[in-house]
Amino acid sequence: MAKNKVKFEESLARLEKIVEELEGGDLTLDESLARYEEGVKALKKCYEILRDAEKRVEVLLKAENGAVKTEPFEPEKKEEKDEN
């Protein structure tokens, strides 16, 4: 069974619309809660899509001989601060 492909831009646009509706203050409490739940789902979908994209990103590196090779993308690690 094929997954229903939702695009990042669609999820983000829906999330932005939900935020506008919630900030508008015209919704009932039940409507606000329903929008909030929908917003959480849209946010999770955005994170899922970004996580999947990050896994597929490859960095192109030029070797000394001019050939191009690929390596898996590894995000930079934040330096741990020494708390003394």
| CA pair distance 40, 72, nearest whole angstrom | 30
Cβ–Cβ < 8 Å for 32, 23: no
Domain that holds residue 43: 8-72
In a domain, 79, yes or no: no
In a domain, 1, yes or no: no
In a domain, 51, yes or no: yes
On the 0-12 / 13-18 / 19+ scale of CB atoms within 10 A, 65 is: exposed
Cβ–Cβ < 8 Å for 50, 8: yes
In a domain, 78, yes or no: no
Per-residue pLDDT of 22-70, as tens digits, reads 999 999 999 999 999 999 999 999 999 998 887 777 555 555 666 766 6
Cβ–Cβ < 8 Å for 20, 35: no
pTM confidence score: 0.62
In a domain, 81, yes or no: no
In a domain, 58, yes or no: yes
In a domain, 34, yes or no: yes
Domain count, the chain: 1
